[in-house]
């Protein structure tokens, strides 16, 4: 099947969906966080067993996300026997037609590993931080947070595939 676009409609002969625009923009702009400032969607300790995600924006598969204020994310109660690693993700859901920041709980273990990211046609996640939740922890400190925004396999920075040409 051949496709082309975008053209003005004449008597309803051209109908485009958000998915058409997302596919187009997704071919021009890569997934990741926008890096206008070093704090864009940065994950920091909050009071108690929680983290804050700073204001910022991201791009996933042609869709834009923006967080305009610090967002507080409580973490699940720490395990009494083993530590775990939780992931803080920017999650695109085609099912709910939204993008939101979420916590993916890790599995407690003597040597914990971060949970896998979900990357399907319905759900696509970018990991902005890994958070070590120590055994019986009641708070998170900065050393417990691994910033993954610059890791291209987990998140990365938004890049445009269009380059400016000056004559």
- Do residues 155 and 110 lie in contact, with contact meaning Cβ atoms separated by under 8 Å? no
Domain boundaries 18-147, corresponding CATH code? 2.60.520
Res 97: pLDDT? 92
In the numeric block, which tokens belong to residue 80?
């009494």
CA 31 to CA 62: how far, in whole Å? 8
Q: Who contacts 73 (Cβ-Cβ below 8 Å, separation ≥6)?
A: 46, 50, 51, 52, 53, 88, 101, 103
43 and 85 Cβ atoms separated by less than 8 Å: no
For residue 83, what are its two tokens?
């530590």
pTM of the predicted model as reported, rounded to 2 decimal places? 0.84
Comparing 30-39, 85-94, 130-139, the range with the smallest average pLDDT is 30-39
Q: Give me the sheet containing 32-33, strands edge to edge.
A: 32-33, 56-60, 63-67
Compute the distance between CA of residue 112 and CA of residue 108 in angstroms, rounded to an integer: 6
Model pLDDT for residues 95-146, shown as the tens digit of each residue: 999 999 999 999 999 999 999 999 999 999 999 999 999 999 999 999 999 9
Provide the pLDDT for residue 14: 62
- Domain boundaries in the chain? 18-147
Q: In sequence order, which residues have a C-beta less than 8 Å from that of residue 124 and are 6 or more positions away?
A: 60, 61, 91, 92, 118
Torsion of CA 38, 40, 46, 49, to 10 degrees: -110
């Amino acid at each position: 099947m051949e496709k082309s676009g975008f053209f003005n409609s004449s008597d309803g002969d051209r109908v485009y969906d958000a998915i058409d625009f997302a596919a187009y923009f997704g071919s021009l702009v890569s997934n990741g966080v926008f890096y206008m400032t070093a704090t864009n969607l940065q994950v920091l300790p909050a009071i108690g067993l929680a983290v804050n995600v700073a204001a910022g924006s991201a791009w996933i598969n042609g869709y834009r996300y923006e967080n305009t204020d610090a967002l507080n994310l409580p973490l699940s109660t720490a395990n009494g026997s083993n530590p775990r690693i939780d992931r803080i993700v920017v999650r695109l859901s085609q099912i709910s037609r939204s993008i939101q920041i979420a916590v993916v709980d890790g599995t407690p273990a003597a040597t914990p590993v971060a949970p896998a990211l979900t990357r399907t046609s319905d759900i696509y996640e970018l990991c902005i931080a890994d958070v070590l939740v120590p055994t019986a922890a009641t708070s998170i400190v900065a050393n417990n947070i691994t910033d993954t925004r610059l890791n291209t396999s987990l998140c990365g920075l938004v890049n445009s595939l269009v380059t400016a040409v000056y004559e």
